[in-house]
Amino acid sequence: MKIALIHTTVNSMSPIIKAFNKIDATIELMNFLDEGLMSDLKKNSPIEFFMLKRIITMAENAEKSGADGILLACSAFSPYVDVIKDFVNIPLLSADMAMLEKVVSMGGKIGVLTTIEAARSTTLQLIKELGDKNKTTVEVEGEIVYNAFDELKNGNKNQHDRLIQNKIKEFSSKYDVIVLAQMSMNGALESLDPCNKPIFSSPEISARKILEEIKEERVK
């Protein structure tokens, strides 16, 4: 089986690759990266069509390369998954939808952490929409962990993780559920002190979901 992973930062690669290897190390993974989109995300809000077209091109190339399914590893583009799907004939999922569905099903007060603004606004929007769709009462707020993204980009993973961990500790006294909205944030959980609140991160949840979608597609 071949899975294509579409990235806008190299920092999302390791968490999702680890997740797939944990599930089934025989799965062949193909990474498609357009890191220039991350710079565009910081400058353009809302997302403009020229940015979406570059994601669509990567998805089309993934299908041409023989992928059985595609996972979009950038949560900022999650609201556009239905548009992107129209350009390919294989299962395609967002990085975070399966995770957010689980989060919304729990209800309560949800705290969302991100390292870029585009991911914060997108995740808050999706949680509110899922709550309305499922008739679930949710209260959601989000914060950016400032400087964390730049620390990771500059190779300072330990400092990136510490900044996120400090914010998780702060959130644990304010929220019922904590969400790390970006795959690149997942590494902060590896050395996190025990937390008394559930913390959701998307790599393994989304990896299992795309595999499930592919299996369902094959039995149709």
| Residue pLDDT, tens place only, 50-63 | 999 999 999 999 99
Residue count of the chain: 220
User: 20 and 91 in one domain?
Assistant: yes
* C-alpha of 213 from chain center: 17
Structural domain for 185, as ranges: 97-201
Task: Give phi and psi for 111, each to the nearest 5.
Answer: -110, 125
User: 46 and 18 in one domain?
Assistant: yes
Instruction: Read off the pLDDT of residues 163-172 as tens digits, 9 standing for 90 and up.
Output: 999 999 999 9
Q: Are 177 and 106 in contact (CB under 8 A)?
A: yes
User: 109 and 44 in one domain?
Assistant: no
Query: Would you state the pLDDT for residue 44?
Result: 66
User: 151 and 80 in one domain?
Assistant: no
- Report the share of the chain in percent with pLDDT over 70: 99
Measured CA angle at 144 (ends 105, 128), to 5 deg? 30
Task: Please name the residue ranges forming H helices in the chain.
Answer: 13-23, 36-43, 49-64, 81-85, 97-106, 117-133, 148-153, 157-171, 203-218
